[in-house]
Every structure is written in structure tokens, then in C-alpha cells.
Amino acid sequence: MIKHKLIDKGSIAHALISSINEPNVFIPVKVVIKDIKYDEHNPLYLVKIVKFYDSIHFLKEHFMNCKFIKNFGAKPRPFFINTNNVTNTDSLQNYLDREESRFYVVVDSIHTTRYKQDMIDLFNKLQDFLICRNMKELRELSTRNSYSGILKFSSKIEYYNRLRRMIIDKVDDIKMTWDEFIKSL
């Protein structure tokens, strides 16, 4: 059963797209919904990108020449874009507009919102989760007994002390004590 509102075909929306190569890297974009494939759990949208919200440097690494699903039931294919011809997000958007039919992306409906602020809130929650998960993974990797490389921490206490020096001001901004933050990891 679908538990979120669907957006009509032809509507302008905001979405988080991700490639098959890097499913945990989300790219916030403004889109036009071209088609909808209904599913029992989460419908899929076929969208055309209208505007990018990231820098061109980020897009060159995580959008251009990465594999995306371009149509319902199709295999993921890369967008072959000559990075030398694209110098900013406007030139990338102009390139995509010229090649209208080739640059569609399939997006899960739970990654699509009607309003930009809702998309930004969703994006921030996902990024916070991924960053915290990676901090926990870094702690596990760098404090292992069998690891003796240059990035080895002798204990979790040492790891947390170094982490604290780096991000204590960010933790203060979210109105948490350091101990509450550590427990949340």
C-alpha cells in the first residue's frame, strides 16, 4: 500500500537521484515528471532534470559518465557527456536540454517531493545518516586489533577524543551533549 502522496505526470517536482555505481550519493535536482509506473509499494517516476543544485565539480565526478536507469525496465546506462565542453551547471543544463530524449532518469517516489524545502530536509536527513554511519565504520576499521597501519587508533576513546576536537562545535549546534552524540553513533 502506498503511504505517501503521488505527484501528477507533467508536474514540476524535486528529487534525489543516485547512480547505480554509487547508490549512497544523492544528487538533489529539480525535475519534470514525464511518466509514472505504478507499483504496490513505491511507484517510480520517469523524470527530466530541469535544474541541478550541486556544483559542477561534484556533478563531473558523480553524475557524468555514471550509470543511471533511464527508462522503466531498462538496464542502467551511463550518460556519456564530454566533461571538457561543460564548465558550469548552466552549460550542463543547456547540453541536457539540447539532447531532450536521451536524458531521462527513473526515480523512486520516496525520493521525490513536490516542494524544494521538503527535498532539502530529506537530503539533509539522508546525509546526516550516511555521515554518522561512515564515522562508526571508520571507528571500527581504525581500532581493530589486527590493524597496525598509520591510521591506527589504540582505542575507541582515542578515536572519540580526536573526533571531538574536529566536530565538537557541530555537536553543540544540534543541542546535544558529546556523550549523547557518541551514543547515537
31-84 pLDDT tens trace: 999 999 987 778 899 999 989 999 988 988 888 888 999 888 889 988 777 777
What separation, in Å, do the N-terminal and C-terminal C-alpha atoms of the chain show? 32
Integer CA distances (angstroms), 10 to 47, 56, 58, 115, 155, in order:
9, 27, 28, 15, 55
Does the structure show a pLDDT above 50 at 1?
no
What percentage of the chain carries pLDDT values higher than 70? 95
Does the structure show a pLDDT above 80 at 4?
no
Does the structure show a pLDDT above 80 at 135?
yes
Integer CA distances (angstroms), 11 to 46, 109, 125, 154, in order:
12, 13, 25, 55
Cα–Cα distance, 81 to 128 (Å, whole number): 30
167 Cβ neighbours under 8 A, 6+ residues apart: none
What are the residues facing 51 on neighbouring strands? Answer: 30
Q: What is the pLDDT of residue 178?
A: 74
Length of the chain, in residues: 185
Provide the mean pLDDT of the chain: 86
Q: What is the pLDDT of residue 12?
A: 94
Cα–Cα distance, 70 to 124 (Å, whole number): 26
97 Cβ neighbours under 8 A, 6+ residues apart: none
Cα–Cα distance, 143 to 85 (Å, whole number): 45
Which range among 10-24, 37-51, 88-102, 155-169 shows the weakest confidence by mean pLDDT? 88-102
Does the structure show a pLDDT above 80 at 5?
no
